[in-house]
Structure 1
C-alpha cells in the first residue's frame, strides 16, 4: 500500500489522504482548508480525480468534505461512502459552503470553485453505510466505526495486502453530553491520529458547565449581552443541551437566549431525527428523550431562522444571550452582533471552540483591541472569555488513550490534523510514553506501507 498526505499534514483543516493498492485508488476525506494561510488559495488537486475509485468520508464538517464537489467537477465519478447522518449533514453544509464560496468569488472577481450543480452531482454519488458493516472498493475492504466527534462521525478501518490501517478522523471529546463514546479500532498495522488538541487538556464537564453558568449569570447581572460564536454542527446542539439542563435546574436567570444561525437550526432538526437512536446517541440521552425531555429546547429559547427575525434581536433589551455562527467569526450573523456589542464593556464574548490561526475569532481571543469587521474598524472593549472543554475534539489525554489502544500491533503512527507544534508534542509524547514509532508527515509526502 502507498499512502500520500495531500491535506491535513501539519495543519488542522483540509484533510485529504490518498491510499493506493494494486490498481485501486481511494481518498479518505476531501476537505477544504480553513483559516489563515491554509485557506488563502485553493489549488488544483495534485492527483487526477478521474483515477480515484472511491472516497470515504469521516464526517460532515467542511474541512473534511468541502472539496468533494470540486473533485466531481474535475472528473471524479466513483462512489462516496459515509454514515447516513454524515450524508444528511454534508448536504446542508455543502450547499451552505457553495453559497459562501460564490459570494467570496464574486467579491474577489474570481471564478467559483464549484456551483450548485456540482453539489447535486456529488450527492448523487453518495452511498451510506452503517457502523461495523464491511464493504469493498476495488482491492480495499472498508469498515466504519464510531469516532464520537459529531453525529455520524467515523474512524475508517481499511484492509489490503494483508495489512490494516485506520484513519482516526476527528476523535470525539469524552465529555460530550449526548453522543456515544469513541470506539477503539483494535489491532492495526498503521494508523493516522488527529492532533488538534495534541498539546492541551480540556476542563472537566462540571467545570465547563460552571464556567458557562458563571458567564451567563455575570453578564446578565450587569445588564450586558453575551455573544457565543458557535459552530453550526454539534457545538450549537451541545450548547442547547447544556443550557436546557441549566434552565431546568434554575441555575441561570430567566433571560432571552437566541439561536441565530439558520444552518444550526436546520442541523438541529437532523439531530432530532436520531435522538431516539442509541447507535448514535448515548443511553443517558435516549433515556431523557423517552422520558419526555426536549433536550434541544427550553424556556426562553428563541429560534431566529429568518433574516428579519435576526435583525429584531437588536431591539430586545439586555440582558440576553446570542448564539450564532460562524464559530471562528469568519462570517455569518455573529459578525453583525460583534459589530454592535464588542465595543461595550458590559458585554462579553465567549469562545467555546478552536479558533484557527488567521481568523477573526483567534484575533479577539488573543487580545486584539481593534478588529476589522466588514471593512469597518471595531473596538474590542467587551470582556473576552473562553471555555476549552466544549471542543468536540479529544484532548491530549484522550488522544493518548486512543493511541495506547494500538499498542502491541502497530508498526507506525502518523500524527496529522493539528498545528505543527501540537502534532510534534503529541508525537513525542506517544513515542516516549507508549514506545510507538510516530511520524509527523509533511504535505505531499508519500509512504509505502
Structure 2
C-alpha cells in the first residue's frame, strides 16, 4: 500500500454516515468524522451498532461539523474504547455536546447518571482548534501530520480539513483535503467558502453534484409573502425546521423582515409578561418550539464572532437577529400544548418554528394535528423531505385538488391548510460550487475521490470535474468512493 492511503467506513456509497480513515503508515492513522447513517442509508438500530473497524493506531478523530450524519457514531466509538482527541473548530466544540446529549438521550439512554458520565468523557476529549492555523496531530520518527481547519460555510463551525503529511527525505509534503459538507453561497450568517490552496488528494462531498440551486435572493421575498398571508388570513404559519443551522437562518431572516416592516418594537415595562398573550395585532409572535433549537440558538448568539460581517453589523446597530423581542421560546411540554390550543382556538396570526424537520415526530406533529384541517393556516417546508415521511406526504399535497388526508400517529387528518415549499435554504453547495471548490485555486486538485452522494450525483459531478480540468488543461483523476 502506498501512503498516505484512504479507507471509508461510511459515507462513500450513500449520502450519510460519513467516516473516513487516513492511513499515514501501516500502524498510524487519523479518522475524519464518525457519522450515523440516516434515512434510506440507515439500518435498523444503527445508533446501537458497534464500531465495525479496528481502532488500533488511530491517533485522533477530526470532526468537520456536528450534524449527526458526521458525528452520530461517536458514542459507539467511545464505547469501543477510543480515548484519543476529538479535534474540531471552536464553534463545533461548543455545539457538539449539545447535539450529542440530545441524540444520546433520545436514541440510547435517558438515564441521568449514564448520560452525565458520557458527557464528562466527551468534553474531556474535545480539542478546540482555531480556523486557519496548523495544528500538529501526529509527530513520529517516520511520519508527521498537521491539520488546518478552514470554514466550509455549511453551518456555524463547519470546516473542511487540510492534512499535511510529511515523511523524512520526501519533498514536498502530501496534502490531503476532506471537504466535509460544503455550504451554498449567500448564507445570511456565515462567511463564504474559499477553495483549498492545493490538494494532492481531495475527498469531496457530492450531495448535489447533479444539480444547480435556484437563485437564493428570492427566498426572503417569498417568506415575507407567506407572513403577509398569515396576517391577512388570521392564521398560523407552521415551519417544520431542523434544529441546527436551518432554524437559525430562518430566525435571522424573519427578524430582518419584521425590522423592515416596523413590527419589531420593544414594549417597555412589559417584558416580563407573556409575549404570546400581550402582543397586539401589529406585533406578530414568532414561536420557537424546540428545546434543542433553543439551546443551539443561544449557543449561536454566544458565537457571534464567527458570524459574517453583515450579521455582526446588525449586532453593532443594537439589533438581536437571533433573540429579538417578538421571539417566544416554548420550553416545557405543558406550555407547548397551551400554545397549540391557543393558536387553534383564536384568530391570532403567528409564525411557529418547531421540530422535527420531516414531521416524523417532535412537537410539530401536535401543531399539524390541530391545524392541518383549517385553510387559515399554512405549512411551509424549507428543507428536504425524505420519501415516505409525513413531511413528504404533506408537501406532495401542495396545489392538489380534491380531498387529501394524512396519517399522523395512527389517525387520519384532512389537509385543508395551504402548503408551500420555500427553496433556497439548501445547506449544501451545488455542482457549480463543488467544481469551484476543487478547481478554483491556482493549484487545482490533482486527484478527487467523490463521497457523500447518490450514484447519479457522483457520476454527474465526475463529468463536470473532468470538463473543468480539460478547460484548464490540467491533469485530474476522479474516482468514486466505495
Using structure 2 for the length normalisation, give the TM-score.
Answer: 0.83
Q: How far apart are the structure 1 equivalents of 2:71 and 2:463?
A: 30
Paired position in structure 2 for 1:98: 104
C-alpha displacement of 1:408? 4.3
Structure with greater contact order relative to length (CA < 8 Å, sep ≥ 6): 1
Paired position in structure 1 for 2:276: none
Paired position in structure 1 for 2:429: 394
Q: How far apart are the structure 2 equivalents of 1:61 and 1:378?
A: 32
Paired position in structure 2 for 1:356: 386
Q: How far apart are the structure 2 equivalents of 1:136 and 1:65?
A: 22
Paired position in structure 2 for 1:342: 372
8 A contact 1:213–1:251 mirrored in 2: no
8 A contact 2:51–2:76 mirrored in 1: no
- For the pair 1:273 / 2:302, whether they are aligned, the reply is yes
C-alpha displacement of 1:39? 4.6
C-alpha displacement of 1:225? 2.2
Q: 1:306 aligns with which of 294, 313, 332?
A: 332
- For the pair 1:419 / 2:454, whether they are aligned, the reply is yes
C-alpha displacement of 1:409? 4.4
- For the pair 1:200 / 2:230, whether they are aligned, the reply is no
Task: Count how many residue pairs are aligned between Structure 1 and Structure 2.
Answer: 431
CA offsets 1:141-169 (integer angstroms, 9 cap, x no match): 21111111111111000122531111111
Q: How far apart are the structure 2 equivalents of 1:414 and 1:21?
A: 17
C-alpha displacement of 1:411? 2.4
CA offsets 1:105-140 (integer angstroms, 9 cap, x no match): 99xxxxxxx955334322211111001221222232
User: Do the aligned partners of residues 39 and 333 (structure 1) sit closer, same or farther apart at CA in structure 2, a change above 3 Å counting?
Assistant: farther
C-alpha displacement of 1:76? 0.7
- For the pair 1:294 / 2:320, whether they are aligned, the reply is yes
User: Do the aligned partners of residues 142 and 334 (structure 1) sit closer, same or farther apart at CA in structure 2, a change above 3 Å counting?
Assistant: same
CA offsets 1:308-334 (integer angstroms, 9 cap, x no match): 221121213242211011222233211
Q: 2:477 aligns with which of 437, 443, 446?
A: 437
C-alpha displacement of 1:47? 0.8
Q: How far apart are the structure 2 equivalents of 1:203 and 1:245?
A: 22
Paired position in structure 1 for 2:19: 16
Q: How far apart are the structure 2 equivalents of 1:18 and 1:366?
A: 40
C-alpha displacement of 1:21? 1.1
Paired position in structure 1 for 2:65: 59
Paired position in structure 1 for 2:40: 36
Moved more, 366-375 or 136-145: 366-375
- For the pair 1:79 / 2:109, whether they are aligned, the reply is no
C-alpha displacement of 1:250? 0.7
Paired position in structure 2 for 1:447: none
8 A contact 1:188–1:406 mirrored in 2: no
8 A contact 1:36–1:359 mirrored in 2: no
Moved more, 425-434 or 367-376: 367-376
Q: How far apart are the structure 2 equivalents of 1:116 and 1:373?
A: 34
Using structure 1 for the length normalisation, give the TM-score.
Answer: 0.89
Unaligned runs of 5+ in 1: 107-113, 443-449
Q: How far apart are the structure 1 equivalents of 2:405 and 2:72?
A: 31
Q: How far apart are the structure 2 equivalents of 1:401 and 1:34?
A: 28
C-alpha displacement of 1:100? 1.4
Q: How far apart are the structure 1 equivalents of 2:198 and 2:425?
A: 30
Q: How far apart are the structure 1 equivalents of 2:318 and 2:215?
A: 28
CA offsets 1:46-85 (integer angstroms, 9 cap, x no match): 3123542210000111111111121011111111100121
8 A contact 2:241–2:357 mirrored in 1: yes
Paired position in structure 2 for 1:167: 178
Which structure: larger Rg? 2
